[in-house]
Copies of this chain bind each other. A is one copy, B any other.
Amino acid sequence: MTEAVSRPTLEAVAARAGVSRATVSRVVNGGDGVREPLAERVRQAVEELGYVPNQAARSLVTKRHDAVAVVIAEPEARVFADPFFALQLRGISKELTAHDNQLVLLLTEGRADHARVARYLAGGHVDGALVFSLHLDDPLPGLIRKAGVPTVFGGRPDWSDGGPGPVYVDSDNRGGAREAVRHLVGLGRTRIAHITGVLDQTSAVDRLDGYRDVMGDADPRLVVESDFTPGGGERAMRELLDRCPDVDAVFAANDLTALGALRVLREHGRRVPDDVAVIGFDDVLPVAEQAEPPLTTVRQDIEEMGRLMARLLLRGRAGETPGAALAQASGAAPAEASGAGVVLPTTLIRRASA
């Protein structure tokens, strides 16, 4: 474990190049307004001394930090069982890196950590925040708003106040769910069940709504509440088989849930998709592809969601509207951009299970 050594300062570079600190500063920050002979001499001095600007000093005067906080408020261990979170982070990281911003990760383990996060955000350490995994009665959004930090949410928040709606990025959960269920209907299935996610998250509610859009008049016993985990999927599937032995299709709220359902179906000797067709949600590759049989599922571009969140935050900071940022967002075309929310499209990936 090496000792940190003291780094050269602007002053040192200036001395070496025979110019003033101001000139060095100009060159280091874009270089406009400095004539060529000088600029080159400065660059050389920077190189020779291995000068790296001291971010603390810079922030002190600019009030910018080139850093963004990513807040993951997931008390349950679910985030850690699901590559979802990692993919999202990867997208965020890519975008942030491209704009020379750092990613400060704030993980919370329950309410006790909320105050800490709020304090940090309020402390003006970062230029903005990206916030995930909000649940219905979560006090965090309120705290964050009070902190006065530009924020983009991952997933549609479920609250709304008088002011302008929160900026968020979401997948078209409802539309994706509809597509999945319609596919099942197209397969000739009539007893189509839905295993929900945790219903205090909007993603779960939206998927349930999508299911109902198509199956509005279905037997209510075909809907069973669950929690986005394989274990929950198993329990739900057992109950389903018990309540409705004639079920011939299952739309699970996510791939992990589908995995649990698949296992119980196998246990009970039901063949997939012959006896019961199964569709998941997410298309988390290692899960969906490795399932037995490989899972038909609703794909959402998780990495792109992360990237877009970061882009919105960065652009918004520059004074543009989310819409403008959105217009410039390459890659997946947003399905919808109502108010301050951006909703990415989903696509049905057909594999063997349905």
Interface residues of A (CB under 8 A from B): 1-5, 7, 50, 52-57, 59-60, 63, 65, 67, 70, 79-83, 85-87, 89-90, 93-94, 97, 102-107, 109, 113, 116, 119-120, 122-125, 127-128, 145, 148-152, 167, 230, 256, 259-260, 263, 266, 285-286, 289-290, 292, 313, 316-317, 322, 340
Contact A90 B80 (CB under 8 A): yes
Q: List 25 A-B contacts (CB under 8 A).
A: A1-B151, A1-B152, A1-B316, A2-B145, A2-B148, A4-B63, A7-B123, A7-B124, A50-B122, A52-B119, A55-B56, A55-B125, A56-B57, A56-B59, A56-B60, A79-B86, A81-B286, A90-B107, A93-B105, A102-B106, A103-B106, A105-B105, A230-B286, A230-B289, A266-B292
Residue of B nearest to A107 (CB): B93
The answer to whether A105 and B80 have CB atoms under 8 Å apart is: no
Q: Say yes or no: B89 contacts A116, CB within 8 Å.
A: no
CB neighbours of A119 from chain B (8 A): 52
Chain B residue at minimal CB-CB distance from A88: B80
Cα A76 to Cα B55 in complex, Å, equals 31
A60: which of B57, B70, B103, B266 is its contact (CB, 8 Å)? B57
Contact of A150 among B4, B102, B151 (CB under 8 A): B4
Quote the shortest CB–CB distance from A107 to chain B (angstroms).
4
**Pair B122/A52 contact, Cβ less than 8 Å:** yes
In the bound complex, CA of A245 to CA of B55 (Å): 62
Do B103 and A148 touch across chains, with their CB atoms under 8 A apart?
A: no
Point out the residues of chain B lying under 8 angstroms from A7, CB to CB: 122-124
* A4 cross-chain contacts in B, Cβ below 8 A: 63, 124, 127, 148-150
Q: Which residue of B lies closest to A54 (CB)?
A: B124
Taking A1-B152, A122-B52, A148-B5 as contacts, is the C-beta distance between A104 and B102 under 8 angstroms? yes
Contact residue among B85, B86, B113, B259 (Cβ-Cβ distance under 8 Å from A97): B113
Quick one: closest B residue to A163, CB to CB?
A: B2
Distance of A145 Cα from B285 Cα, bound (Å): 36
How far, in whole Å, are A106 and B65 apart by their CA atoms in the complex? 16
Number of copies: 2
Distance A111 CA – B351 CA, assembled complex (angstroms): 35
With A56-B60, A83-B81, A124-B52 given, is the CB distance from A148 to B90 under 8 Å?
no
User: Which residues does chain B contribute within 8 Å of A286, judged by CB atoms?
Assistant: 81-82, 230, 256
A123 touches B55 (CB 8 A): yes
A183 to chain B, nearest CB (A): 25
Given A83-B81, A285-B81, answer yes or no on A56-B52 (Cβ-Cβ < 8 Å): no
| CA distance in complex: A231, B79 (Å) | 24
Chain B residues contacting A3 (CB-CB under 8 Å) are 148, 150
A149 to B2, CA, bound (A): 6
Q: Which residues of B contact A2 (CB under 8 A)?
A: 145, 148-151
Determine whether the beta carbon of B148 is less than 8 Å from that of A1.
no
Most B CB within 10 A of own CB, among A3, A105, A266:
A105
Q: By the criterion CB–CB under 8 Å, are B60 and A54 in contact?
A: yes
| Contact (Cβ within 8 A) B80 A86 | yes
| Chain B residues whose C-beta falls within 8 Å of the C-beta of A90 in the assembled complex | 80, 107
Chain B residue with Cβ nearest A61: B56
State the Cβ distance, A90 to closest chain B Cβ, in Å: 6
Q: For A2, give the chain B residue with the smallest CB separation.
A: B148
CA distance A167 to B82 in the complex (A): 30
CA distance A90 to B77 in the complex (A): 10
